[in-house]
Structure 1
């Protein structure tokens, strides 16, 4: 295991890069153009644009769009549940009184603070750290009616990673095909500047001020001491200034075995990303010391391609490789009898998800 963690990677350097990658700076529509072209080519090659939805047959659309976070959790066996953060779903139908919420939380082993997030989520939108009951009730008051909120144990670990998994339906070999390390947006005090000034001077952190659906909980006029690091968000998304780094060289046989065991404890789960918090890279490499926050299916992005050290051509190659593998797995599943959903049904799921995202409370 130690050899897998000593491959010349300076983990301190991983966290301090401030510039944005070329892919981060590119408009989203421009990134989508080559991806759509490849998707169309793969659709012709494999005989259908929605072939990838067959990758995970027990999840809505295979996890391409419209699936809930709780779908993945409900299918977990005892091993997968044991490494997943405690959680409970709450339907926001007007009956979620304070007493009912406390009972639901207690039954699931939850206590404040908790993280509240949409069951049908995307890119961290609507994800908030909720410190007490008053804050939870305020969150529910502005959350879309008759939609489900997931309350989950807050994980204080600073280490966060997205572990990309794929299992070949033919050979049944499970692999970790990507590892993205996430770093939260933060600024470092100089003893003179306010948080607002530090954010404005930081090319990455200033994204948080430009994100209309994010609410920074750090007082903007506070003055951090010299050398004091101030974390600006609960989430690590690049849309609020988070940093993604490629950790592929940190993947060990022990980690592969641990993730493969979790995936096999879910019904026919073949492709997706496990988002985890971890104690240390050494523990993660040993296949222990991590807790699953979320699971994402066929629609998972190869977010390690957004590493600032990865050039735009290499980044696209990584994303292209993920799409090719996804189609291949979906096609193998189809040959095994799994039926992909229709294109119109997938479009409806995607439209509903995007409409809901626009109505969620701001993340923090």
Structure 2
């Protein structure tokens, strides 16, 4: 099984180490830094986000940029909080199970949990770092929309739309859940996690036609399949995000992770919630579509980082000052320390 897992990873670049995607970006960055006269110009792409580094924007603060209509009910839980205090906070904010619990500064879906009851919450409660609790949005469609707008323009661009296909298996009436998982490459890569999660159903023979959702969190490292959805882009969808971004002063570049009742509703600006807003560290996740070529992914990344540079320079013209080394170092060390504390729990 380990050999099969290794083969899947070697033959699909979407599973390769993250740095492979960023080699051309690093090289381009140094050239753009010379032009900008700053290694850290990217920290002024979104002036409204002032405390993070590349991947360290706080989820709670960034989400507050979104108009309340489009935000799930979300509360910030300070590190050191007891489970009793957490339960009281949930009650005070009228938050009911199921809920989503995740670090306030995250990394590719690590430590994101769906808690269906108090027992689940007790099992994952951690108090070493700040985290957030969010109402669970049960809409069936999850999509990532990358949007950017130049500060001197009133309309922006959507270069990336990602549709998410959650990890599932469908029974045939003869194979057990374990056997079905072994036959599906994306599920096989999650074998150990799924064995622990479904230990009571591991040898259950799944009836023919019955579909079991193996994962409810729409992250790539949880087995979710990212599908290139750029074909659904039209002027109606762009207008929704132009209108949305018009209510977010100081935010010009990033990805919105969304749950919606349907794509049609999303295009009409209704029945959707923005789960997260990712700034300069956001990726155009449609590139992780299994059919997408690595060379094309490099082109997309280079283009978007050039756009980030152009936005930063326009913001500089409007009075923004690029961070000096000491400030950038402080931001980076804060993120490094948070990651060490939160992700080693």
TM-score range, shorter chain: 0.7 to 0.9
CA distance in 2, matches of 1:48, 1:217: 50
Q: Are positions 1:45 and 2:26 aligned together?
A: no
* SS of residue paired to 1:284: helix
| Corresponding residue for residue 50 of structure 2 | 60
| Corresponding residue for residue 108 of structure 2 | 123
The within-5 A match list for 1:102-141 is 102-140=87-125
Q: Deviations over 1:154-211 (max 9, x none)?
A: 1122311111111111224333232111111111212222222211211111121266
Aligned-pair distance for 1:65?
2.7
CA distance in 2, matches of 1:200, 1:82: 42
Structure 1 length as normaliser, TM-score? 0.83
1:293–1:56 Cα change, 3 Å: same
CA distance in 1, matches of 2:287, 2:342: 24
1:170–1:285 Cα change, 3 Å: same
Aligned-pair distance for 1:53?
0.8
Q: Deviations over 1:103-138 (max 9, x none)?
A: 422333311111111111111111111111232233
**Which of 5, 15, 25 pairs up with 1:35?**
25
1:277–1:217 Cα change, 3 Å: farther
Q: Are positions 1:297 and 2:279 aligned together?
A: yes
Q: Structure 1: which 5+ runs fail to align?
A: 1-18
Q: Are positions 1:257 and 2:269 aligned together?
A: no
RMSD over equivalenced CA pairs, Å: 2.4
* SS of residue paired to 2:61: helix
| Corresponding residue for residue 259 of structure 2 | 277
CA distance in 1, matches of 2:68, 2:251: 15
Aligned-pair distance for 1:66?
2.0
Q: Structure 2: which 5+ runs fail to align?
A: 1-7
Q: Are positions 1:86 and 2:73 aligned together?
A: yes
Q: Are positions 1:358 and 2:339 aligned together?
A: no
* SS of residue paired to 1:60: coil
The within-5 A match list for 1:1-364 is 22-61=12-51, 64-76=54-66, 80-97=67-84, 100-140=85-125, 143-145=126-128, 147-209=129-191, 216-217=197-198, 219-341=201-323, 342=325, 343-356=328-341, 358-360=343-345
* SS of residue paired to 1:115: strand
* SS of residue paired to 1:204: helix
Structure 2 length as normaliser, TM-score? 0.88
Aligned length: 333
Contact 2:53 2:331 in 1 (8 A): no
CA distance in 2, matches of 1:321, 1:22: 23
Contact 2:52 2:331 in 1 (8 A): no
Contact 1:22 1:311 in 2 (8 A): no
